[in-house]
Amino acid sequence: MDERDETIRRLLERLDCASLCDASPLVRALSPGLIALHPQLKMAGRARTIGCSNDFLSVVKALDEAEAGEVLVIDGRGQTYAIFGELLAADSLRRGLAGAVIDGSVRDSQGLRGLDFPLYCRAFYPRAGRAEAIEPPTEVVSICGVTVMAGDWIFGDADGVVVIPQMHADTIIKVAEEIQTVESKVFESVRKGASLTEIMKFEEFCREHDREIRTKLGFHLSEK
């Protein structure tokens, strides 16, 4: 991991999925349903994309080629058998990977929970997939309804997993930092007794929102 990537990783680890989602519509959140084995751990790294169908040899090969700080992003292609487990997680940890996101099944859940390795998966299933074929490498995968490209930034916490386009990472992080700072101040004010509706100037906000909707609607109707 180069110096710039390490800086981005450190900045991301101070943030959360919620502030990143609020920062830009370019941030894509993976659909609900992923199981976070270690919700207390944050995960931040570039995507190492893998596609496999009930055969984990492609995962083994990708792991061997992965660089420290990357996140394994595995498209299980709707298959059932486990394509990741305790041994792969242990080797990922040894190699310095940042985590794994698996749109598919894993096994050895008890052992996985004993490792401080951020991991998100669809399900647990005790039967392992085949070890017969290595599928061609892929730069793009579909994970939980979201397209992920190799090199995209992957961030995960207790709320879920988001994908950040690599070319917009710096700008998105800056906006997310500002959002988190503002929300921290609002939270502290509420904790000390202030009303959230007063802080938001709720009535004024509603009036302005209603005016904006009516203006847009009027413009739309005038174009008909």
Is residue 154 within 8 Å of residue 99, measured between CB atoms? yes
Q: Could you give the angle at which helices 57-65 and 86-94 cross, rounded to 10 degrees?
A: 10
Degrees to nearest 5, angle at CA 153 with 110 and 159: 50
Mean of the pLDDT values across residues 167-174?
A: 95
Same domain, 71 and 143: yes
Same domain, 162 and 179: no
Please give the model's pTM, rounded to 2 decimal places. 0.88
Exposed, middle or buried by CB within 10 Å (0-12, 13-18, 19+), for 51? buried
Q: How far apart are CA 92 and CA 95, in angstroms?
A: 5
Residue where the block lists tokens 């090199």: 151
- Tell which residue, 19, 17, 13, has the closest CA to residue 160: 17
Instruction: Report pLDDT for 20.
Output: 97
Same domain, 161 and 180: no
Q: Which two tokens stand for residue 89?
A: 């997680």
Q: In the predicted model, is pLDDT for residue 196 greater than 50?
A: yes
Q: What are the residue ranges of helices labelled H in 99-195?
A: 109-113, 169-191
Same domain, 88 and 26: yes
Is residue 73 within 8 Å of residue 154, measured between CB atoms? yes
Instruction: Report pLDDT for 205.
Output: 58
Same domain, 43 and 10: yes
pLDDT band at 214 (very low <50, low <70, confident <90, very high): low
Q: In the predicted model, is pLDDT for residue 221 greater than 50?
A: no
Degrees to nearest 5, angle at CA 126 with 135 and 101: 50
Residue-wise pLDDT for 100-119, tens only, equals 999 999 999 999 999 999 99
Instruction: Report pLDDT for 224.
Output: 45
- Tell which residue, 2, 8, 21, has the closest CA to residue 157: 21
Instruction: Report pLDDT for 90.
Output: 98
Residue-wise pLDDT for 12-30, tens only, equals 999 999 999 999 999 999 9
Same domain, 148 and 195: no
The more confident residue out of 90 and 132 is 90
Q: How far apart are CA 25 and CA 86, in angstroms?
A: 35
- Looking at the chain, the whole-number percentage of residues with pLDDT higher than 90 is 68
Structural domain for 88, as ranges = 3-167
Same domain, 140 and 124: yes
Same domain, 50 and 106: yes
Same domain, 40 and 92: yes
The more confident residue out of 182 and 197 is 182
The alpha-carbon radius of gyration of the chain (Å, integer) is 21
The more confident residue out of 218 and 68 is 68
Degrees to nearest 5, angle at CA 128 with 124 and 160: 35
Instruction: Report pLDDT for 171.
Output: 95
Q: How far apart are CA 202 and CA 196, in angstroms?
A: 8
> Range with the lowest mean pLDDT among 48-52, 82-86, 186-190?
186-190
Average pLDDT, the chain: 89
Same domain, 113 and 214: no
Q: How far apart are CA 213 and CA 209, in angstroms?
A: 6
Same domain, 84 and 106: yes
Same domain, 183 and 163: no
The more confident residue out of 202 and 200 is 200
Q: Where is 146: in which H helix or E strand?
A: strand 146-149
Domain count, the chain: 2
